[in-house]
């Protein structure tokens, strides 16, 4: 059985600089705001979180405030 570690961080523009990610490999992440959630998977959480802030992305316009990795 694998050890699983989940960390939650504030999610807003440029907040990824302060994230102390426990690892640097393929993972699942959850963006949420207490009412809505988006579950994704990626090899690069920082890059993918920036893509979510761009017009045309499925998460663009949602007021997500936290990311759990």
Joined together, the tokens standing for residue 53 give 């802030």
pLDDT at 56: 93
**Is the per-residue pLDDT at 64 higher than 90?**
yes
Place of tokens 């802030």: 53
CB 25 within 8 A of CB 69: no
Per residue in 12-41, pLDDT (tens digit) is 877 777 888 877 778 899 999 999 999 999
Rounded Cα gap, residues 16 and 10, in angstroms: 8
């Amino acid at each position: 059985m694998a050890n699983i570690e989940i960390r939650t961080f504030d999610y807003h523009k440029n907040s990824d600089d302060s994230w102390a990610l426990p690892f640097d490999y393929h993972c699942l992440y959850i963006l949420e705001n207490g009412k809505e959630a988006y579950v994704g998977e990626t090899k690069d959480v920082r890059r993918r979180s920036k893509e979510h802030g761009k017009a045309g992305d499925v998460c663009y316009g949602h007021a997500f405030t936290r990311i759990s990795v």
